[in-house]
Amino acid sequence: MADLCFHGKLAVQQRVLPPYRAAFFDALAPACAAGLSVFAGEALPAEAIPSGRLRTAGFVPAHNLHLLRGPLYLCWQGGLPAWLDGWDPDALIVEANPRYLATPAAVAWMKRRGRPVIGWGLGAPRLTGPLSALRRYRRLSFVHQFDAMLTYSRRGAEEYATLDLPLDRIFVAPNAAAARPSWPMPTRSPTFDRKPSILFVGRLQARKRVDLLLQACAALPENLQPRLVIVGDGPQRAALENLAGTVYPSAEFPGARHGADLAPYFYSADLFVLPGTGGLAVQEAMAYGLPVIMGQGDGTNDDLVRPENGWQLPDPGSLPGVLRQALSDASRLRAMGTESYRIVSEEINLEKMVEIFITALNQLVA
């Protein structure tokens, strides 16, 4: 990837800039010879999304005006035209979300100058209901304003293809949150020489469904009940500790850990489990050769967690059965962990994500 470079000036619009996304833009910036500028604002306080800091890429703050809430949510980003006037980019990447009201003006700014705009989105799930035909028409109009689409998964690419977008203008850039591992695959015994260890790492909030993990471990036969380590802090911690005291008293809550302080927990684990949604630590766990169990989401993790390296839960009630299956065969679990390490080393990492973005840009900008 060393010689892969975009020679123009790149602009990227984001509603917000979480830390994991800042890491990606700092990795992308050196591959943009004429520079990269990111335009992003602040999240709603209730979202509890911390703002990342850019060290390599340029940054211009947006003035986010949040309108309405829930399914009616809209966002207006003030200052967008002034940012484009000042940066004068050769290409623009925007979040492909019709709820962001300033985006059409940004697209029009670029089109007047004959410069490409790339949409970056999750996909386009099938629409149902009495207004589905009208919604599909609006979706077609929205998506076809872009010169190409970047998406997080193969599922997203297939969905965009149903909107008659040319296949050579759809690029799959899996949603990486970490660089490829710089350490070798950890060595683990082919058998459980001790009680197997399950690890959770993340913010302790309701959507992570750590309560299901405690209950699932308690439901296992005694000979399969694991050491359970729950690393993290958050609004649900006290409630989860109280629940553990009732259903699984051996569960350990060491609190929040970050960076190098997390490594010993990954090395000593046999399996990483996230019953709910979210979970940036999944890729980090895979980099330490851990198989993964996680809840099904919007498709962004379809390419990350596969039958070869883990399980996506079809429903919350399936966790006890999947845990029992996972802990009943140590040798298979080790093989799945090896595949996890291969995936984040070769396929899904920040370096690969940068490569795909640059490939898309170079295809559009002569």
Judge if pTM exceeds 0.95: no
In a domain, residue 255? The reply is: yes
Beta bridge partners, 117, equal 92
State whether 156 and 217 are in the same domain: no
State how far the alpha carbon of 26 is from the alpha carbons of 277, 279, 342, in Å. Answer: 26, 21, 24
The number of residues in the chain equals: 366
SS3 166: coil
Beta bridge partners, 171, equal 150
Q: Dihedral of the CA atoms 7, 60, 278, 356 (nearest 10)?
A: -10
In a domain, residue 218? The reply is: yes
- CATH code, 285: 3.40.50.2000
State whether 207 and 337 are in the same domain: yes
State whether 52 and 172 are in the same domain: yes
Task: Count the alpha carbons within 13 Å of 71 in the hemisphere toward its beta carbon.
Answer: 0
In a domain, residue 205? The reply is: yes
State whether 204 and 135 are in the same domain: no
Q: What is the pLDDT along the chain (366 residues), one digit of tens a residue?
A: 446 899 999 999 999 999 999 999 999 999 999 999 999 999 999 888 889 999 999 999 999 999 999 989 999 999 999 999 999 999 999 999 999 999 999 999 999 999 999 999 999 988 888 888 888 889 999 999 999 999 999 999 999 999 999 999 999 999 998 999 999 999 999 999 899 999 999 999 999 999 999 999 999 999 999 999 999 999 999 999 999 999 999 999 999 999 899 999 999 999 999 998 877 899 999 999 999 999 987 667 888 999 999 999 988 889 999 999 999 999 999 999 999 999 999 999 999 999 999 999 999 997
Tokens 């996890």 identify what position? 340
State whether 355 and 276 are in the same domain: no
Q: What is the pLDDT of residue 215?
A: 97
Q: Tell me the one-letter amino acid at 97.
A: N
State whether 208 and 137 are in the same domain: no
Number of domains in the chain: 2
Q: What is the pLDDT of residue 186?
A: 96
State how far the alpha carbon of 18 is from the alpha carbons of 1, 39, 48, 186, in Å. Answer: 25, 13, 10, 30
In a domain, residue 187? The reply is: no
State whether 89 and 134 are in the same domain: yes
Cα–Cα distance measured from residue 217 to residue 271, given in angstroms and rounded to the nearest whole number: 13
Q: What is the pLDDT of residue 72?
A: 93
Q: What is the pLDDT of residue 298?
A: 61
State whether 104 and 158 are in the same domain: yes
State whether 140 and 204 are in the same domain: no
Q: Which domain holds residue 67?
A: 10-176+349-364
In a domain, residue 188? The reply is: no
The conformation of residue 192, written as its DSSP 8-state character, comes to -
State whether 327 and 358 are in the same domain: no
Assign residue 129 a region (left: φ > 0; alpha: ψ between -120 and 50; beta: otherwise): left
Return the H-helix or E-strand segment holding 121: strand 117-121
Which parts of the chain fold into alpha helices (H)? 19-28, 80-87, 103-112, 132-143, 154-161, 210-219, 237-247, 263-268, 281-287, 319-327, 330-346, 350-364
Which positions ≥6 away from 358 have C-beta within 8 Å? 4, 5, 6, 28, 31
Cα–Cα distance measured from residue 2 to residue 14, given in angstroms and rounded to the nearest whole number: 26
